[in-house]
Chain A
Amino acid sequence: MYKCPNCGGNLKFDIATQQLKCDYCLTQKDPYEVTKEKDAEENTLFDVTVFTCPQCGGEIISTDTSVAEFCSFCGASTILGSRISREKRPSYIIPFQQTKEACKQAYITKMRRALFAPSELKHQKYIDGFRGIYIPYWTYTISQKGTIHINGSKSYRRGNYLYTDQYDLSGELDACYYDLSYDASSSFSDNISEKIAPYDVKGTKRFTPSFLSGFYADTADVDSCLYQNDAIKLANSTSLNAIMRENAFKGITVTSKKNDFSLSSSLNTICNPPERTLYPVWFMSYRKGDRVAYATVNGQTGKVAADIPIDIRKYLLGSGLLALPIFLLLNLFFTFKPTATLVFSLLLAAFTFLVYLLEIKQIYHRDMRTDDRGYQFRQSPNEPQSKSRNTAPESIPSTELLKYGIGFSGSLAAIMIAILIFVINPVSDLWYYGGAIAAFAGILVTVMAIIQKYNILATRKLPQFERKGGDDRA
């Protein structure tokens, strides 16, 4: 902990002033000017790593990747200095810019739009649970310098002939993309970090541990090479687009191979050694049984990404209410015969069936976390990771599809019933109305199945982000 030179209290980083501040005597210090006299001492005799609080001597049980924690006994913010030195010190940090109040406000604004969210997610008690965490990121700087050569072509017609001219496009390129960032924590899901991105790296500062005082922090636990190709790919495509927009090359299309290796070779792309950086995230978890839903707020920009489950009762009520204006609107413009109603029901049931297929594909990938390469890396760190961002297999195994049978059966039954009625071709309207009602019920079963599954996936298995204690005023 950082002691106040005036009263001996705990100095913590104050977001509003961007200084270290003592809660007791309000003394402010520049983060770069203060040093720690005593670190928390590490003891690894047991399965978990235990640190001793330098203030009260209490035990601080830490996760494997934590570098900043809070003492459960005295609440002191403690930097686990040995972790920082051992695990390689971050080079840069973006300090928290958004206060907890601003973060809560951003979350409330977001939740106002989430009409079908469970009410408890909007309770003040829940909202107060935001914790500030510094998440580790790898930042890549990609440079492209030197003479470039790109093949291009231009086609035109002259009489009855189609001409294609081939060109060699060249020039002296000097391009650089600084600090392309990718989260380096396997616990922090890629799909969350992508949603709260981007961070404005122009606000990056040289790292000093005192910035962590008052917050949690983790260290990188995924390999630095994991996202290197993503950064290179982004830089290559951006430069290539810019080159082809040059006046000298107008009207010419690229014929060079557009794969990463070829482009990197053509553009002289070099990836500089990645840097360790810490970015601020406000975190909040909502536990339901053994599942947890996360709400995250970008600690610099205030952008919110949250797992928001759908409350079935609210959804049904909302659907009933929405049906009313749709009904009135249909009455104004349309008179459907019962046969037409059944045809539309059949088409909507088929549409729902297709939507369900697409949804379960997404659900499957998210469930397996196949698109979270940080997680995949931790599961099998020795296996080479795919170079592409999306490593998920395209098709779902048929055994997996059977798990979703109930959802399929709804819209499938609706389709079958509608077709059967058309085959029988009865005179009475009642058959068609009955078929349309069955189609509605089938569609509802399918939609409910999607929502149920979506709700399971909107919450996650408990990872190591479950933080307890700490300073709520942070």
Chain B
Amino acid sequence: MPRPIRQILILLLLISGLCFPLTVRAESEEDLQNVASILWENPETGFHVLLEDDAQLLSPEARARLAEEMQQITAYGNVAFKSISYNSYSASFYASEFYYDTFGSSSGTLFLIDMDNREIYIYSDGAVYKTITDSYANTITDNVYRYASQEEYYTCASEAYQQIHALLEGRKIAQPMKYISNALLALILAALINYFLAKQLSGSAKPSSSEVLSAISTKYVLSNPRIRQTGQSKVYCPSSSSGGHSSGGSHRSGSHRSSSHRSSSHRSGGGGGHRF
């Protein structure tokens, strides 16, 4: 490569480094406290910690503490914290897109605070998603959303990561939402089922016509059955054209697949959230 071109490229890299300081490797305690975006890699597993507080919800100290707490999850997968103040999509869509753009299909989890939609959201993928399922994501966000409502964002995220870590370690977490919802539904369903059960068990079925007929004597003989055609009518009724429809269907199908591929065909993860 000619020397002038190499110099221009280095210069461009330096400029881009100054313009996009969001992703830097945090090597020291001092760095952790001063940057809005933190990247740390677990040397044993190769999984990363990413903390991007775009909405400036956390103090530098809180960011550092949170990043440290997040590190324990890297034993199982990548872990990310993201806060945003503007989002033209839904929180779930943004979370899945951000995760995919950052970690690809690699295993991990993301905790998003979407200030625009006033929603917190947990998105997980890969092996982590097998533990932090949609149900658990909903449960965890339900457990911590009150902190976000009270603007205690650090506590909110910290609690969420603790519960994620607890689940990944095989421990249990409190699930009041699940139990309250299921208890209420169980009561309503039981009241309705029992009513039909009581009616069913108390009632007696009327006999069918065949039962009535089996209890009496009957005689039925039809001799010399004859069939005579008395007329014919025909109506023009072309069979439904299959070519056009098939073509249209195939085209739509192809289009759908293409669209699906662009958006999230590689996403194997999912999650859950809660407004605050």
Contacts and interface: CB of A to CB of B under 8 A. Distances in A.
Given A195-B205, A242-B222, A322-B194, 9 more contacts: A160-B237, A172-B222, A202-B216, A252-B227, A336-B181, A336-B182, A337-B181, A341-B180, A440-B184
Contacts of B174: none
Most buried by B among A199, A306, A322: A322
Contacts of B182: 327, 330-331, 334, 336
B140 to A, nearest CB: 11
Interface in B164-207: 175, 177-195, 197-199, 201-202, 204-207
A84 interface: no
Interface residues of A, number: 95
A160 B190 contact: no
A198 interface: yes
Nearest to A321: B190
Given A115-B198, A318-B194, A167 B216 contact: no
Contacts of B191: 319, 440, 443-444, 447
A331 to B, nearest CB: 5
Given A114-B201, A344-B185, A177 B218 contact: yes
10 contacts: A163-B234, A171-B222, A174-B223, A175-B218, A177-B216, A200-B215, A327-B182, A334-B182, A427-B118, A458-B202
A201 interface: yes
Contacts of A440: 184, 187-188, 191
A308 interface: yes
A238 B209 contact: yes
Contacts of B213: 177, 234, 238
A447 B178 contact: no
Contacts, number: 248
A34 interface: no
Given A198-B207, A310-B198, A331-B179, A249 B225 contact: yes
Contacts of B223: 171-172, 174
4 tightest CB-CB pairs across the interface, nearest first? A335-B135, A198-B215, A327-B186, A323-B190
Contact of B209 (A179, A234, A326, A433): A234
Contacts of B201: 113-116
Contact of A167 (B197, B222, B228): B228
B7 interface: no
Interface in A430-462: 433, 436-437, 439-440, 443-444, 447, 450-451, 454, 458
A200 B216 CA distance: 6
Contact of B237 (A161, A178, A437): A161
Nearest to B214: A198
A412 interface: no
